[in-house]
A and B are shown apart, each in its own frame.
Chain A
Amino acid sequence: MSIRVLLLAIACLFCNGLNAQAQADDPVALVERTTGRIFANVAENLEEYTANPQALKTLVRTDLMPLLDVNYAARLVLGRAGRGLEKEKIEEFAICMSSLLVNRYSKGLLYFSSDIKLQVLPQRGELNEKVTRVRTRVTLPNGKEAPVDYAFHKTPEGWKAFDVIVEGISYITTYRNQIMPDVQANGIDSVIARLGTGDLELSN
């Protein structure tokens, strides 16, 4: 009897282990876990974060950043304007972009935190390693549902997101059409300087 229970327990552990393994790899599960964790944390410590937005930025940075492929996003945004740029420059630009993103996301979290609801929709179709869309529905306090999708691709370090699409509006597409001509006209350093103003020191 006790041996059977023990075996069962081991089997369960093993299954859970396997599940966790499978989960870790799947973009839908990644979004579910990460957003769930961030939202719960914000709801719990809302007062602290309202008083100290810096702490929230740190939370978002540590929780969200590992999930994002910011260098790939930077390449997409720069497009033709990134041709011939050194890798370091692109990475510098990527850091700027990610700081902006963290700031915006943190602001949004504080703003909507009261009663925001998030629903991650199940994966539709096959997982495509080049680009897979994770669809979520955010219910805003006014009851309006906003579809927020994430574009993921598979990297050597696992699945990573590189675009956010809110009501059909792609962050990459929109940002790209602002940044590309700016870089072409004024050069990457000027753009980095402009984006980074008052931002980089806030982000750490």
Chain B
Amino acid sequence: MKKRLSLFSFIFLSLLIAGCAGTQNRHTDPENDPWEGFNRKIYAFNDGLDKVVRPVAVGYDKIMPDPFQRGVGNFFRNIDTPVTFVNQVLQGKFKQSGSSVGRFLVNSTIGLLGFFDVATKMGLPYYDEDLGQTLAAWGYENSRYLMLPVLGPSSVRDGVGRFTDSYYHPVGRALHGRDIYAYWIVRGVDQRARFLDQDEEFEQAYDPYVLLRDVWLQNREFQVYDGDPPMTDYDLYLDDYAEEEEPDSEE
């Protein structure tokens, strides 16, 4: 544990120092991302790391037959269920938490350690909760965007949530204090492989950092609101420029 912690804290500290030393400070979204300069540095670091991770993920994607990849995805989703359960209880979603218990039992047994998602077919829907979402439900709605080294986009709230969740996550708990990286590596590579389709989008983006942030922030809000976030206020987007020529659209 000491070793792992120290490795992470070393990376984090050196990035922090690098971040503080930075002079250019861009603010494309001061409200959500006041630490943009620092975040961009970590983004650059992660981007460099991706030069190594991506080829591995591409290989994994090529070698693994789709049904197997699906199974691996199911496995990781299943292994996270206890975290979802705890946070459903914390948010008072008792009925849904019952479904999670059922899912975990069914998929861990009949579903062969979660490789097969039998529960969904049995009418036990999948939910996804974590401490970050619980904190949001408790009123900690807006949190500063924070790029985490290796782990990627997050926020102060969700970073704290993630760290805390890992203490009672079945695998996270079992692996705490051990130098077993295989699980994390496979998980990371599998995760990365799922985003290969989006690479082109990022390559072509005007500002990939902003694209990732936008996508993450919006998707996170979507999760916090259990898939039903409030509608965007499009009027704000029209700004003052269209005032006199109202949106009368011609084909």
In the complex, are the beta carbons of B241 and A82 less than 8 A apart? yes
Q: In the bound complex, what is the Cα–Cα distance between A79 and B234 (angstroms)? A: 10
Say yes or no for B160: interface residue by CB 8 A criterion: no
- B199-214 CB mask vs A (1 if < 8 Å, else 0) is 0000001110011001
- By a CB distance below 8 angstroms, the chain A residues around B239 are 79-80, 83
- A117-131 CB mask vs B (1 if < 8 Å, else 0) is 000000000000011
Say yes or no for B191: interface residue by CB 8 A criterion: no
Per the 8 Å Cβ criterion, residues 40-83 of A in contact with B are 66, 69, 71-72, 75-77, 79-80, 82-83
Q: A83-B239, A83-B241 are in contact. Are A169 and B219 (CB under 8 A)?
A: yes
Q: In the bound complex, what is the Cα–Cα distance between A142 and B207 (angstroms)? A: 31
Main secondary structure of the interface of B (DSSP, over half): loop
A-B contact pairs, 26 of them (CB 8 A): A69-B249, A71-B251, A76-B234, A79-B237, A80-B241, A83-B240, A130-B235, A131-B231, A133-B231, A143-B70, A143-B120, A147-B227, A151-B231, A165-B232, A169-B218, A169-B219, A172-B232, A173-B218, A173-B232, A174-B211, A174-B214, A174-B218, A177-B214, A178-B210, A181-B210, A182-B206
- By a CB distance below 8 angstroms, the chain B residues around A177 are 28-29, 207, 210-211, 214
Say yes or no for B165: interface residue by CB 8 A criterion: no
Partner pick for B221 among A84, A142, A168, A179, CB 8 A cutoff: A168
Per the 8 Å Cβ criterion, residues 220-251 of B in contact with A are 221-223, 227, 229, 231-232, 234-235, 237-242, 245, 247-251
In whole Å, how far is B99's beta carbon from the nearest beta carbon of chain A? 15
Report the interface size class on chain B. Answer: 35 or more
Q: In the bound complex, what is the Cα–Cα distance between A133 and B231 (angstroms)? A: 8
Q: A170-B232, A178-B206, A178-B210 are in contact. Are A75 and B247 (CB under 8 A)?
A: yes
Q: In the bound complex, what is the Cα–Cα distance between A66 and B251 (angstroms)? A: 8
Say yes or no for B215: interface residue by CB 8 A criterion: yes
Per the 8 Å Cβ criterion, residues 56-81 of B in contact with A are 66, 70
In the complex, are the beta carbons of A75 and B214 less than 8 A apart? no
In the complex, are the beta carbons of A181 and B237 less than 8 A apart? no
In the complex, are the beta carbons of B249 and A172 less than 8 A apart? no
- By a CB distance below 8 angstroms, the chain B residues around A87 are 245
- By a CB distance below 8 angstroms, the chain B residues around A82 are 241-242
Q: In the bound complex, what is the Cα–Cα distance between A79 and B239 (angstroms)? A: 6
- By a CB distance below 8 angstroms, the chain B residues around A167 are 219, 222
Per the 8 Å Cβ criterion, residues 154-201 of A in contact with B are 155-157, 160, 162-163, 165, 167-170, 172-174, 176-179, 181-182
Residues of B within 8 A of A (CB): 28-29, 66, 70, 117, 120, 205-207, 210-211, 214-215, 218-219, 221-223, 227, 229, 231-232, 234-235, 237-242, 245, 247-251
- By a CB distance below 8 angstroms, the chain A residues around B231 are 131, 133, 151
Most buried by A among B28, B66, B234: B234
- By a CB distance below 8 angstroms, the chain A residues around B219 are 167-169
In whole Å, how far is A34's beta carbon from the nearest beta carbon of chain B? 16
- By a CB distance below 8 angstroms, the chain B residues around A156 are 248
Q: In the bound complex, what is the Cα–Cα distance between A42 and B230 (angstroms)? A: 33
In whole Å, how far is B105's beta carbon from the nearest beta carbon of chain A? 20
In the complex, are the beta carbons of B237 and A176 less than 8 A apart? yes
Q: In the bound complex, what is the Cα–Cα distance between A101 and B214 (angstroms)? A: 19
Q: A143-B120, A173-B214 are in contact. Are A168 and B250 (CB under 8 A)?
A: no
- By a CB distance below 8 angstroms, the chain B residues around A155 are 248-249
